[in-house]
Amino acid sequence: MTHNQQKYVCALLFGSATLTFGITAQAEFLADSKGELEARNFYFNRDFRQAGARDKAEEWAQGFLLRLQSGYTAGTVGFGLDALGMVGVKLDSGDGTAGTGLLPADLSSGGSQDDYAKLGLTAKVKVSKTELKVGSLFFRDPVINSNDTRLLPQTFRGGLLTSQELDSFKFTGGHIDRIKANSSSDFTEMSANRIGGTSNSFNFGGGDYQVTPQLALSAHYGQLENVYQQYYGGLVHVLPIATGQSLKSDLRYASSREDGHFRDLDNQAFGSMFTYRLKAHAFGVGYQRMTGDDPFPYIAGSDPYLVNFIQIGDFANARERSWQLRYDYDFAAMGVPGLTFMSRYVSGDNVERAAGGEGKEWERNTDIGYVIQSGTLKNLGVKWRNATVRSNFGNDLDENRLIVSYTVPLW
């Protein structure tokens, strides 16, 4: 083990020991606490198919994620502490094949670093059904989404408040001042994808209302200070048709404009996804449309909440229209629980190209995954993700990701 790896392991053990000491101080802390260790092995290969491009980006890495969550102290106001320790180790990265997003760049060699680590601590306070978390955050929200599509997840730094004091209603709000990318050990300022601009302040808030067991409404607001503002509204409805049959409607609308004096910004994004489920089968049809003079803005490195944001593309260029066809199958119906299949195709057009003319693109994804359901290797998962992208204004890509993960509960 190298000196740097020893330091990383010591950092994780120190964080674990600190949390354990706090937990043992009160029985309530311990009673509701939980811990797990995930080992994540990730192979990434992206072939560039257009003329004049580099040959490929290809790397293989091993990650370890230690998640520790305490309970809350007794009393009207409960206090707790969570910890997330992460280590990534390079297994293979040949000359000229770095840049997959699995590992940090090594500026001296032009390749990737041999290893890296992150330690995130989160203090939390709970009163009744209202909870405040401050520190390192990983969460999903219609206006700001954490990304977990590489070796280690991307996290935010800030505060997150959630409240469910009212029946069927959930309020979410918070403030973020830094982002830590998937392949980075450092927090940095936030920037807006495609439109530029940087900021150290993202404010957000909103609510989700479960009108009936079948109908949910949501409204959210996000502001990347001095860059953009975004208003979001959504509707999800599930219509039962018969035994084993349903139709799910997912409608989303977002309006974005400039904030402060960054520059003029005008984008409206509409998305819809309709999924018909017939026992183990699911058939989906989606449509997404961008209007206004600008692409859809979101924090670079995070996931945009768009129906046609898929493995590689987001289909969110200015004025772009895109359609999606999707099929899912759960092999539990054939006596193989844990085995799943997904395939989808998205086609986009009406993109304004810098070189003139209409921009067009399409992407095809296929996912096959299996998670062992019982026995010694329970929770061992294997997933193969394949994608093909073709575009007359961007990169032509063929991509494969092979992910093997194993999660072990610690207590």
Which tens digits make up the pLDDT trace of 75-86? 999 999 999 999
Report domain extents, the chain: 1-122
Token pair for 290: 């961008």
Please report, for residues 16, 67, 112, the alpha-carbon distance to residue 60 in angstroms, rounded to integers and kept in the order given: 28, 23, 11
Look at strands 190-191 and 198-199 and give their pairing.
antiparallel
Q: How do residues 29-76 score in pLDDT, each as one tens digit?
A: 677 899 999 999 999 999 999 888 888 999 999 999 999 999 999 999
Does residue 16 surpass a pLDDT of 90? no
pLDDT value at residue 26: 59
Q: Which residues pair with 388 in a beta bridge?
A: 364, 398
C-alpha–C-alpha distance, residues 75 and 47, integer Å: 57
Q: Is 137 left (phi over 0), alpha (psi -120 to 50) or beta?
A: beta
**What is the overall mean pLDDT for the chain?**
92
Q: What is the pLDDT of residues 322-340, one digit of tens each?
A: 999 999 999 999 999 999 9
What percent of the chain has pLDDT above 90? Answer: 85
Q: Is 395 within 8 Å of 53 (Cβ atoms)? A: yes
- pLDDT tens for 346-376 read 999 999 888 889 999 999 999 999 999 999 9
